[in-house]
Structure 1
Amino acid sequence: MDPITNEDYPHSMDSFVGNRLLKFSEEESKMLKGSFDFLSLNYYTTLYAAYAPQLNSGNKSYSIDPHVNQSRKHN
């Protein structure tokens, strides 16, 4: 949501995703900021997530960008 509220992605997202992240021109960023009338988010999951800093190395991909190990069992 940062591009539509703050004109840019959060630094952490930029550093994790790098050049795979869509870049906005200055004009596009200004057009995006505040461009919503209503925003709603429903997110449901049955997985536990644990921080996994070791995923920072190696091939970058969508599946490791969050830097978490997911499981159905609580540790």
Structure 2
Amino acid sequence: NRASEQRTDKRPMISDLRESGAVEQDADMVIQLHRPDMHDPESPRAGEADLIVDKHRGGARASITVAAQPHYSR
């Protein structure tokens, strides 16, 4: 969704997903991936990624920081 490109905070939101109303209604859990260095190569968080639990029907929302190793992906 291009709306996220217009925001100052580039973290994905559940509303960025196509047919997000159906996703919010039907999904038990929605997890999104965010890499700050994709939008700002000079980011001090280069090499990190956030797993954002935007929806968890049985628990709390959370953001978990993990190491990103893009050289292992295609």
Relative contact order: is structure 1 or structure 2 higher (C-alpha 8 Å, sep ≥ 6)?
1
TM-score between the two structures when normalised by the length of structure 1: 0.20
Higher helix share: 1
From the CA coordinates, give the structure whose radius of gyration is larger.
Answer: 1
Higher strand share: 2
